[in-house]
Structure 1
Amino acid sequence: MRVGLFVTCVNDTLHPDTGRAVVALLERLGVEVGFPQEQSCCGQPLYNTGYRHRTEPLLPRCATAFRGYDHIVTPSASCAAMIREHYPRIAARAAEENRPGSDPAALAEAAASLAPRTFELTEFLVDVLGVVDVGAYFPHTVTYHPTCHGLRSLGLGDRPRRLLEHVKGLELRELEGAEECCGFGGTFAVKNPAVSAAMGADKARAVRDTGARVVCAVDNSCLLHIGGTLARDGSHVRPVHLAEILASTDGRLA
């Protein structure tokens, strides 16, 4: 089985340890992991701000980058949802418009090639590899925030929690209002900063109330928002991507 790691822009730029954790974890489970250098942004920021036509060239680029891999795994529910949910929609709209300069057939081919092979990390572990105990050790109190794309677009359900419950030494604390959005929403935070900050404050308060030392999620974009709010409030709760917890075998909290 050959897996291509789609690391995503946020992780590549701000959280490289998450990408390294995915590789360490999958290789520990016997998976051959490749990292195509040609990969780029999935196009979600463009698409979400209304630039659908400018997103189109990224579909065949992504398909070319990940050609030859059995599966594409990403530590981002947000970007996985972009490929699985929105790439087919982009291709369908292009076919309806038949706009000069666009290539609907190439877009449809790219979307059809990518969508069935693309998995967020936890669903790949549970659904494809069939594991919930990955041999992790993380002796800390942890609370889990289910991100919107993971919860609503991908339907991750209890997969992340099942994996956390099998981590040795980990105590999982319940998060009140867990399914409420943290307020980040990508470009939403830029266009509606006051609302975004208020939602972030509510989420940070709920995290602090758990008494957990760590808050984790399957998207570093959301953890960036929650962690920034916690830090500004003087909290010592650490935002840690779920992949880094699952990859841990020494229990250290860097």
Structure 2
Amino acid sequence: MRVALFVTCVNDLLYPGTGQATVRLLERLGVSVDFPAAQSCCGQPQFNTGYRHETEPLVRRMAAAFEGYDHVVTPSGSCAAMVRDNYPRIGARAQGEGRGGELARAGASLAARTYELTEFLVDVLGVTDVGAYFPHPVTYHPSCHGLRMLGLGDRPRRLLEAVEGLELRELPGADECCGFGGTFAVKNPDVSAAMGRDKTGNALSTGAGLLCGADNSCLMHLDGILRRTAAPMRTVHLAEVLASTREHPYAVPEAATGADTAAAAHIATESAGKIR
């Protein structure tokens, strides 16, 4: 079984630890992971902004970079959804315009072999207990792409529930968008920030010190709000939770202390006046 890591731009540039954690986790489970250096941006920012034709060269580049691999694994629901949902659509549109037959074939081939990390673990490897150790209270935010476009369902929760020592606390309004949405946050900053405040307020109400997710784009948005309000919570990618063991534990940030419900409610209320 030939497996490649699609690390994504956000992780490569801002959160390399997530990519490293993904490799450590998979290798611990007996999977040999390659990293094709020719991979690039999947084209999601361009496509979502309406630049379909400008996205096509990136589809070709990605398909060529991952050619020959049985499975392409990514720790990002949004980028997995871009490949799985939009690559076939981009190819079909190009083919319908009388060009791009090879683009349609390449995009469809890569889409069929691309898995978000939790899908790969549960559906391909058939595991939920990955041997992780994470003795901390955690609340989990399911991102929109993973929840709605990929249909990840309870896979992330099943993986978290099997982690030794982890206390999973229910997040109120878990299925609500965090407000990031890529360019949505740029075009609608006030609405985006308000949605983020609602999400972090709900997360703080659990008293957990860590807000976990499977998309660093969402976590970046939420972590910014938490830091600006000096909240006793930080974000952590699911891959880093699952990669943590007794021998190599995750280093929890000092600020991730958690809060009792009264203090959390106060912080959530105060944050509404600090983040515009």
Q: Same fold (TM over 0.5)?
A: yes
Paired position in structure 1 for 2:222: 226
Structure 1 counterpart of 2:180: 184
Instruction: Show CA shifts across 1:79-131 (max 9, x none).
Output: 00000000011011112223xxxx41121111121011000000000000000
Hey, which bits of structure 1, 4+ residues long, moved more than 3 A?
A: none
Say which of 198, 205, 223 aligns to 1:202. Answer: 198
Quote the Cα distance in structure 2 between the aligned partners of 1:32 and 1:38: 19
What does 1:146-161 correspond to in 2, within 5 Å?
Answer: 146-161=142-157
Give the whole-Å Cα distance in 1 for the aligned partners of 2:171 and 2:108: 37
The answer (yes or no) to whether the contact 2:240–2:250 under 8 Å persists in 1 is no
Q: Does residue 105 of the first structure (1) align with residue 101 of the second (2)?
A: yes
Supply the AA of the counterpart residue of 1:159. Answer: R
Determine the structure 1 residue equivalent to 2:81.
Answer: 81
Helix, strand or coil at the partner of 2:186 = helix
> 2:273 matched to which residue of 1?
none
Matched, 1:11 2:7: no
Task: Provide, for residues 143-171 of structure 1, a one-character-per-residue CA deviation record: whole Å limited to 9, x for no partner.
Answer: 00000000000000000000000000000
Code of the aligned partner of 1:44:
Q
TM-score (norm 1): 0.97
Aligned to 1:56, the other structure's residue is in SS state: helix
| CA distance 1:204–1:112, shift in 2 (3 Å) | same
Which amino acid in 1 is paired with 2:20?
R
Calculate percent identity across the aligned residue pairs: 70
Aligned residues: 250
* Structure 1 equivalent of residue 267 of structure 2: none
**Secondary structure, aligned partner of 2:212:** strand
**What amino acid does structure 2 have at the position aligned with 1:41?**
C
Q: CA deviation at 1:182?
A: 0.1
Q: How do 1:105-124 and structure 2 match up within 5 A?
A: 105-124=101-120
Question: Hey, what does 1:252 align to over in structure 2?
Answer: 250
**Amino acid of the structure 2 residue aligned with 1:53:** H
User: Do 2:29 and 2:130's aligned partners in 1 also have CA atoms closer than 8 Å?
Assistant: yes
Consecutive unaligned residues in structure 2, runs of 5 or more: 253-276
- Structure 1 SS opposite 2:236: strand
What's the CA shift for 1:73? 0.1
* Partner residue in 2 for 1:96: 96
Task: Give the superposition deviation at 1:215.
Answer: 0.5
Paired residue for 1:212?
208
Residue 43 (structure 1) aligns with: 43
**Within 1, Cα distance between the matches of 2:94 and 2:71?**
26
Residue type of the alignment partner of 2:85: E
2-structure distance, mates of 1:194, 1:66: 39
The corresponding residue for 1:52 is 52
Deviations along 1:16-51, one digit per CA (max 9) or x if unpaired, are 000000000000000010000000000000000000
Highest relative contact order (Cα 8 Å, sep 6+), 1 or 2?
1
Cα root mean square deviation, aligned: 0.8
Contact 2:241 2:250 in 1 (8 A): no
